[in-house]
Amino acid sequence: MADDALNPTTIFRAKTIITMNPARPEADHVAVRDGRILGVGKLAELEGWGDYRLDERFANKILMPGLVEGHSHVMEGTFWRYVYCGYFDRLDPDGKLWPGLTTIEAVIERLREAETSLADAEAPIAGWALDAIYFDNRRVTREDLDQVSATRAVGVLNASCHILNVNTKTLELAGLLRSGINHPGIPLGRDGLPTGELKGPDAMTLAGVHVGFDRNLLAADEDGLRQFARLCVRRGVTTATDLANLLPDEAVAMMLRVTGDDDFPARLVALRRLQNLSVPDIIARAKELAGKSTARLRLGIIKVVVDGSIQGFSARLRWPGYYNGAPNGLWYVPAEQLREMYRLALENGVQVHTHTNGDEATELVLDCIEEALRAHPAPDHRFTLQHCQLADAAQFRRMAALGMCVNLFPNHHFYWGDQHYEITVGPERAERMNACATALRLGVPMAIHSDAPVTPLGPFFTAWCAVNRRTASGRVLGERERISVEDALRTITLGAAYTLKLDGEIGSIECGKRADFSVLDQDPRELGGEHLWAARIWGTVLGGRVFEAAAI
Ligand SMILES: [Zn+2]
């Protein structure tokens, strides 16, 4: 054995390696060469590959396949520049804990504090992660935010990112402070003027630019991208998605450059959102982008958003609609465009991930995909429904029959489960939300996600949610839809990789795959379902390069 730093082969010794390879589920050594896994097994077996350098720094650690976050947004890294207005405590990329704000007064107070620190009298104030549903669903109005400032633009993005609340000054700057507006995303007050709540991308974009949210809110700049990658290391994530980027040329060039740096600690899969382009044009763009893919930046998948969010009452629900009688939500895409999207995507071999929250939106997508598949049968298309929170068993059966995947959102049970039970969809449908056990039983390939920044990035927490389905108040919401720890761990590795067509490359630790590991202080299987969320993460290994969370 040669102990030479230049030796092309490193063998890592670990306490336990959980491989996710059913043929060899556990091991204690993994050999890495050229960023890939040369072999997994006993040291004596791996010695057969020739000279190596033995790295024992993980001798007391657990290695798992690097975790895969199948639905996140890199803008989480950018949002930390704005004022955190969320209800729950949250860690920032530096590891600082921001206390949650449990009243609207506390939100106004924190925004006011930010206001006093601004030197520029014209500068806007932007916040994020607000959710009025925790304040007895009292809607936040422009008058509320006028208390922060009457002279500056003030805007706070809702936790779902589907609603923007603004003050009077912002409405004025956006040309919206007038009567006679007739838009489903712009509710009016008794005075006939907008209340300051703006729902959906059209309405939000009009005002967003004035409060400092860029027109391309869903993209991150270089600094945001690097911050996001630091969060990934802290959470044991080696591959994350940027699920709704508009991917203009400059952004793609920046992302290729930054992810190409050897110190960049994550792989990204960036999807092009259907917006500002016709369907034929976005198909052409997706194919062009696919050609630019690298090992650390994957491009070429399209994202379509069909409705809004359930807790924002902008999701499209089937009969009997919202439990509290709220009017049905919003369609973000006309059905005709959806049909064209799936038809042309299948014809061109382009993968599509589709956001649906309400079951009416899910039903429409299933109808459109079924029709498209009849015209263009396509084996292994892996069209994936994202969120798909309210799907019932019949809809999961259709997904299985149509060869679709699903990426469910069990974090909702913790963050909004009590509200779903009491306000939005009522007890019965709240219990079937994010029906992970049904999806697995019916053979629908499944991932689970955080939708960061909507909820915090952290696949072990997401796995805990899927295993326990516990709400913030402690209610178990849908006992029968809980899944095992083993299934949850497979879902946050191979499960998510499959939906991205990357399961041949990442998601398990076996010969030939990329050397992407999550490095843990404890074996998550020994922690058990109850404590899975608390799995201590030391860092990650990406393509054989080691990243320690405490040192990044
Ligand atoms: Zn999302």
> What is the Å distance from ligand 1's center to 332 Cα?
14
Q: Which two tokens stand for residue 299?
A: 């491009």
H or E element in which residue 228 lies: helix 222-234
**Per residue in 271-303, is it b (16+ CB within 10 Å) or e — as a string?**
bbbbbebebeebbebbeebbebeeebbbbbbbb
**What does the pLDDT look like over 475-509, one tens digit per residue?**
999 999 999 999 999 999 999 999 999 999 999 99
pLDDT (average), residues 23-35: 98
Q: Are strands 537-542 and 517-520 parallel, antiparallel or unpaired?
A: antiparallel
Least confident of 44-58, 157-171, 293-307: 157-171
Among 12, 32, 3, 63, which residue's Cα sits nearest to residue 511?
32
Alpha carbon of 303 to ligand 1 centroid (Å)? 10
DSSP state of 438: H
Task: Answer whether residue 1 shows pLDDT above 50.
Answer: no
pLDDT band at 218 (very low <50, low <70, confident <90, very high): low
Q: How confident is the model over 221-263, as pLDDT tens digits?
A: 899 999 999 999 999 999 999 998 999 999 999 999 999 999 9
Query: How far is ligand 1, taken at its centre, from the CA of residue 164, in Å?
Result: 15
Q: Identify any residues that bridge with 54 across adjacent strands, giving them in sequence order.
A: 11
CA of 470 to the centre of ligand 1 (A): 22
CA angle in degrees (0–180, nearest 5) for 231-233-239: 95
CA pair distance 218, 386, nearest whole angstrom: 17
Q: Among 137-146, 327-336, 346-355, which stretch is predicted with the lowest mean pLDDT?
A: 137-146
Average pLDDT of every residue of the chain: 95
Q: 288 or 3: which carries more pLDDT confidence?
A: 288
Judge contact between 323 and 426, C-beta under 8 A. yes
Residues sharing a CB contact under 8 Å with residue 6, sequence separation 6 or more, in sequence order: none
Mean pLDDT confidence for 362-381 = 97
Q: How confident is the model at residue 3 (pLDDT cuts 50, 70, 90)?
A: very low
Q: How far is the CA of 169 from the centre of ligand 1 (A)?
A: 29
Determine the distance separating the centroid of ligand 1 and the alpha carbon of 449, expressed in angstroms. Answer: 9
User: Mean pLDDT lowest for which of 48-52, 106-110, 201-205, 352-356?
Assistant: 201-205
- Per the DSSP assignment, residues forming a β-bridge with 353 are 303, 384
**For the segment 273-320, what is each residue's pLDDT rounded down to a tens digit?**
999 999 999 999 999 999 999 999 999 999 999 999 998 899 999 999
pLDDT of 534 strictly over 70: yes
**Cα distance between the two ends of the chain:** 31
| Token pair of 351 as six digits | 């993968």
The alpha carbon of 36 is separated from its chain's Cα centroid by a whole number of angstroms, namely 26
Q: Is the peptide bond before 124 cis (omega within 30 degrees of 0)?
A: no
Cα(151) to centroid of ligand 1, in Å? 33
Gap from CA of 305 to ligand 1 centroid (Å): 9
* Distance (Å, whole) CA 492 – CA 497: 8
- 3 state SS of 201: helix
Q: pLDDT tens, 512-531?
A: 999 999 999 999 999 999 99
pLDDT at 4 over 60: no
Distance 218 CA to ligand 1 centre (A): 9
CA of 313 to the centre of ligand 1 (A): 16
Higher pLDDT, 32 or 1: 32
Ligand 1 center to 297 CA (angstroms): 18
Q: How many Å apart are CA 302 and CA 283, to the nearest integer? A: 8
- Cα of 119 to ligand 1 centre, how many Å? 34
Residues 6+ apart with CB under 8 A from 15: 28, 58, 59, 60, 61, 62, 523
Distance 384 CA to ligand 1 centre (A): 13
Provide the pLDDT confidence category of residue 145 given band limits of 50, 70 and 90: very high
Query: Are the beta carbons of 146 and 104 closer than 8 angstroms?
Result: no
Of 522, 462, 465, 542, nearest to 229 (Cα)? 542
Q: Where are the alpha helices (DSSP H) in 353-453?
A: 359-375, 393-401, 411-419, 426-432, 436-441
Distances (CA, A) of 453 to 34, 129, 223, 366: 34, 8, 16, 27
Instruction: Say how far apart CA 35 and CA 38 lie, in whole Å.
Output: 9
Rounded to an integer, the average pLDDT of 109-115 is: 95
Close Cβ partners of 359 (under 8 Å, ≥ 6 residues apart): 317, 318, 390, 391, 392, 395
Whole-angstrom distance, CA of residue 95 vs CA of residue 215: 29
What does 85-140 look like in DSSP terms, one character per residue? Answer: --SS-EE-TTSPEEPP--SHHHHHHHHHHHHHT---TT--EEEEEE-GGGTTTPPP
Omega cis (within 30) before 453 = yes
Q: Which residue has the tokens 């995909």?
A: 369
Instruction: Single out the residue of 330, 13, 552, 290 nearest to residue 537, CA to CA.
Output: 552
Query: How far is ligand 1, taken at its centre, from the CA of residue 73, in Å?
Result: 6
Cα(252) to centroid(ligand 1), Å: 19
Across 12-21, 55-64, 200-209, 404-413, least confident range = 200-209
* 451 alpha carbon – ligand 1 mean position (Å): 5
Count of other CB atoms within 10 angstroms of residue 369: 27
Predicted local confidence at residue 243, as pLDDT: 95
For 457, the token pair is 């990035």
DSSP letter for 550, please. Answer: G
CB 314 within 8 A of CB 200: yes
| pLDDT value for 435 | 98
pLDDT tens digits for 407-438? 999 999 999 999 999 999 999 999 999 999 99
**CA–centroid distance, residue 22 to ligand 1 (Å):** 32
C-alpha 452 to ligand 1 mean position (Å)? 7
The pLDDT of residue 377 is 96
Q: Among 21-25, 44-48, 132-136, 388-392, which is the least confidently predicted range?
A: 132-136
Structure token digits, residue 222: 């270089």
Q: What is the distance in A from the centroid of ligand 1 to the CA of 243?
A: 6
For residues 162 and 313, is the Cβ–Cβ distance under 8 A?
no
Alpha helices (runs of H) in 276-380, residue ranges in sequence order: 279-290, 335-348, 359-375
Which amino acid makes up residue 72? S
Enumerate residues 6+ apart whose C-beta is below 8 A from 419. Answer: 133, 134, 137, 311
pTM: 0.92
The two tokens of residue 310 are 């359930």
5, pLDDT greater than 80: no
Residues 58, 519 contacting (CB under 8 angstroms): yes
Distance, in Å, from the CA atom of 162 to the CA atom of 135, rounded to the nearest integer, reads 18
CA of 387 to the centre of ligand 1 (A): 8
| Residue 17: closest CA among 29, 8, 7 | 29
Relative to beta strand 67-69, strand 237-245 is parallel
pLDDT for res 6: 58
Between 219 and 66, the more confident residue is 66
